């Protein structure tokens, strides 16, 4: 009788639990799937994580499954022990924005906000929703007159107005932020991450690096993850820095080109003495020191320096290399194990009965590497042969004493 496999234990403190989730989106032509998830699993507590990938990798399928728009084809998704697709109360407590910016149908933004918050445990006014983001001017606007950026801003304000969210799902949170500064969005997401799980799903590596942990979604699976500086996202890609200068740009680029830490230098002049210099190098610290030395030597005026991020194509290439390397290593290990088993089988097949090769030991011996040393078995003791029967004593000659009888000293005198 076969026993069912025991599901993996849930990590301590996990509020969002995904187990072997197979899901697909319906954003393609005639409802066809553009991306599919193939058995992904994740445990997440009160913290934030960025999922990096494209729609064809399954990001949109992941979003729709997390917010409860579509049920997974297989596997389970639980938020505080409930499934989003089958629990309307849970869906009310999931804050999400960015997938398809839209507002409840109403004449004005204020009416739409009131309709959206009417299902909350404590309805709030449009001023409480729009005020913290300086969006009060949109309250009287008609929904049809709003641009996509304005709709996204109101949707984001509604998501962050939810006081006790069970989960926050942000799809491309920094893609179109003309109405709300990025720093405010980062601050709001970090604040929610202290109270509930926060998942930011993006196809932009530069946006993913803003979070403490990044999970790479590659071809429908969670291929790998990085933390902190995220240098492992694309380890083969050199450091890429952009320097803005308001004066002495040409002299700065010339001095920087002589630095050993700079692999390549590109100059774009934007005005008289001003320009943008893009430089790459293998050592981030050495490249930063080279920029400082070049600025000092050329007396150029540096106004800003920013670090670029590798592109999604480069991260996919690095992920594919890591996945392929792992597969090749597993195949090599399996081949070595199969060869060792064949050699062991051939060795035992041609071994005489009663013989054990060195290192294998005899029955009853301590194995090699154990506490007691390996010693050969003692040979069996040979039983002593029984004594041979003694010959009868020889007959004594006349006048001689028998050897079996002692002499009487009184006789013969």
Please state the domain extents for the chain. Answer: 16-230, 239-307
Position 280 scores a pLDDT of: 85
Length of the chain: 413
Is residue 218 classed as helix, strand or coil in its secondary structure? strand
Residue 384 tokens, joined: 């002593």
Query: Is 35 a residue whose pLDDT tops 90?
Result: yes
**CATH architecture of the domain covering 16-230:** 3-Layer(aba) Sandwich (3.40)
Pick from 36-45, 219-228, 235-244: least confident: 235-244
Higher pLDDT: 212 or 310? It is 212
Alpha-carbon dihedral sign for residues 118, 120, 121, 122: negative
Position 234 scores a pLDDT of: 59
Most confident by average pLDDT, 118-127, 224-233, 350-359, 400-409: 118-127
Query: What class does CATH assign to 239-307?
Result: alpha beta
Alpha-carbon dihedral sign for residues 89, 90, 91, 95: positive
Residue 349 to residues 66, 352, 359, 360: CA-CA distances in angstroms?
58, 8, 17, 15
Asked if 146 and 154 count as a contact pair (C-beta separation under 8 A), the reply is: yes
| pTM of the predicted model as reported, rounded to 2 decimal places | 0.66
The per-residue pLDDT of the chain, averaged, comes to 82
Share of the chain above pLDDT 70, in %: 79
- The mean per-residue pLDDT over the stretch 170-176 comes to 90
Q: What is the dihedral of CA 117, 122, 126, 128, to 10 degrees?
A: -130
Predicted confidence band of residue 29 (pLDDT cuts 50, 70, 90): confident
Position 360 scores a pLDDT of: 47
Position 9 scores a pLDDT of: 72
Position 210 scores a pLDDT of: 86
Tokens 């980062």, located at residue: 186
Beta strand 275-281 pairing with 239-247: antiparallel
Phi-psi region of 262 (alpha: psi -120 to 50; beta: other; left: phi over 0): beta
Write out the H or E segment, with its range, that includes residue 157.
helix 148-161
Residue 107 tokens, joined: 């004449």
Q: Which residues contact 263 (CB under 8 A, 6 or more apart)?
A: 238, 279, 280, 281, 282
């Amino acid at each position: 009788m076969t026993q069912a496999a025991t599901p993996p234990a849930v990590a301590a403190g996990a509020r969002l639990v995904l187990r072997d989730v197979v899901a697909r989106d319906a954003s393609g032509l005639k409802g066809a799937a553009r991306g599919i998830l193939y058995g992904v699993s994740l445990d997440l507590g009160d913290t934030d994580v960025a999922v990096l990938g494209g729609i064809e990798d399954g990001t949109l399928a992941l979003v729709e499954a997390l917010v409860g728009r579509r049920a997974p084809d297989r596997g389970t998704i639980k938020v505080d022990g409930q499934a989003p697709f089958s629990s309307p109360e849970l869906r009310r407590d999931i804050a999400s924005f960015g997938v398809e910016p839209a507002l409840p149908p109403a004449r004005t933004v204020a009416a739409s906000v009131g309709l959206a918050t009417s299902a909350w445990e404590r309805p709030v006014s449009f001023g409480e929703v729009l005020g913290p983001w300086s969006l009060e001017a949109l309250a009287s606007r008609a929904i049809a007159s709003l641009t996509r950026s304005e709709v996204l801003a109101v949707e984001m304000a509604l998501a962050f107005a939810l006081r006790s969210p069970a989960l926050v799902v942000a799809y491309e949170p920094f893609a179109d932020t003309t109405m709300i500064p990025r720093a405010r969005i980062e601050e709001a997401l970090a604040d929610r991450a202290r109270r509930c799980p926060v998942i930011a799903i993006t196809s932009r590596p530069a946006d993913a690096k803003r979070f403490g942990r990044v999970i790479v979604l590659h071809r429908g699976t969670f291929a790998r993850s990085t933390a902190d500086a995220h240098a492992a996202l694309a380890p083969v890609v050199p450091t890429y820095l952009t320097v803005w200068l308001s004066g002495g740009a040409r002299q700065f680029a010339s001095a920087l080109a002589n630095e050993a830490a700079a692999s390549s230098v590109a100059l774009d002049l934007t005005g008289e003495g001003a320009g943008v210099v893009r430089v790459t190098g293998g050592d981030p610290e050495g490249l930063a020191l080279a920029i400082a030395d070049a600025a000092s030597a050329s007396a150029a005026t540096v106004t800003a320096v920013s670090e670029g991020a590798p592109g999604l194509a480069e991260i996919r290439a690095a992920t594919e290399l890591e996945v392929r390397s792992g597969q090749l290593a597993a195949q090599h290990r399996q081949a070595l194990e199969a060869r060792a088993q064949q050699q062991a089988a051939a060795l035992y097949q041609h071994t005489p009965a009663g013989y054990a090769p060195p290192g294998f030991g005899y029955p009853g011996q301590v194995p090699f590497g154990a506490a007691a040393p390996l010693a050969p078995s003692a040979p069996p003791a040979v039983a002593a042969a029984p004594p041979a029967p003694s010959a009868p004593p020889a007959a004594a000659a006349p006048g001689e004493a028998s050897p079996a009888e002692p002499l009487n000293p009184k006789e013969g005198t």
